């Protein structure tokens, strides 16, 4: 039974994937067999994937298997850092600002399509349930779990900052 609830921000750029305590190149390579060393390797849905290879090609949308694999890797890094193997996840993800209007709802639905994930990362099994997804302008999702340390002091409203 999953009891721990976490907020995890994931920002998958074409060059780098950022989230929690990790940053790595956004490339994903499907492997034909289990690698001898499973560092930066995700095993998901019967396949092994090496992550952190050279950057991915620019894509027309973020709705791809690579997006899910990179998201699983960031979630696993967050869980690994806490010394746990399962959690319910509130997921914050990023989209380029120019695509927010056209893709925000579809991207959220895509990430929620499969709420329950059991996968291996670096040989350890993780079980997560995605309980919510919020889509933010790219860059924001990578720091959402640290907002309490980045927020403008309450004495300054957004209106005062702009003046």
Q: Encode pLDDT of 77-134 as tens digits.
A: 999 999 999 999 999 998 887 888 888 898 899 889 889 999 999 999 999 999 999 9
CATH 3.30.420.40 is held by the domain 5-162? yes
Please report which confidence band the pLDDT of residue 155 belongs to, taking 50, 70 and 90 as the band edges: very low
- Partners of 125 in beta bridges: 120
Cβ-based neighbour number of residue 139 at 10 Å: 14
pLDDT at 89: 95
Query: Residues for the chain: how many in total?
Result: 163
- Judge contact between 82 and 76, C-beta under 8 A: no
> What is the share, in percent, of the chain residues with pLDDT greater than 70?
78
pTM over 0.85: no
> Residue 60: pLDDT above 70?
no
Lowest mean pLDDT of 20-24, 68-72, 78-82, 149-153, name the range. 149-153
- Residue 157 banded pLDDT, cuts 50, 70, 90: very low
DSSP state of 27: E
Distances in whole angstroms, Cα of residue 142 to Cα of each of 3, 137, 156 = 24, 10, 24
Q: Rounded distance, CA 147 to CA 140, Å?
A: 9
Asked if the model's pLDDT at residue 75 lies above 90, the reply is yes
Q: What percentage of the chain carries pLDDT values higher than 90? A: 50
Domain coordinates in residue numbering, the chain: 5-162
Q: How far is CA 45 from CA 4, 14, 161, in A?
A: 24, 24, 48
Closest by alpha carbon to 38, among 143, 138, 123, 145?
A: 123
Distances (CA, A) of 140 to 31, 39, 78, 119: 31, 27, 17, 26
């Amino acid at each position: 039974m999953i009891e721990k609830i976490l907020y995890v921000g994931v920002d998958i750029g074409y060059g780098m994937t950022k989230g929690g305590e990790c940053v790595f190149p956004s490339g994903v390579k499907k492997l034909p067999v289990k690698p001898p060393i499973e560092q930066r390797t995700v095993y998901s849905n019967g396949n092994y994937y090496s992550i952190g290879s050279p950057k991915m090609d620019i894509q027309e949308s973020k709705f791809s298997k690579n997006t899910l694999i990179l998201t699983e890797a960031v979630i696993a890094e967050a869980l690994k850092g806490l010394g746990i193997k399962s959690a319910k996840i509130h997921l914050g993800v990023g989209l380029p600002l120019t695509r927010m209007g056209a893709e925000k709802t579809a991207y959220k639905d895509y990430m929620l399509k499969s709420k329950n994930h059991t996968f291996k990362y670096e040989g350890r099994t993780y079980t997560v349930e995605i309980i919510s997804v919020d889509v933010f302008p790219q860059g924001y999702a990578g720091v959402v779990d640290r907002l309490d340390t980045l927020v403008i002091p309450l004495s300054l409203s957004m209106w005062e900052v702009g003046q």
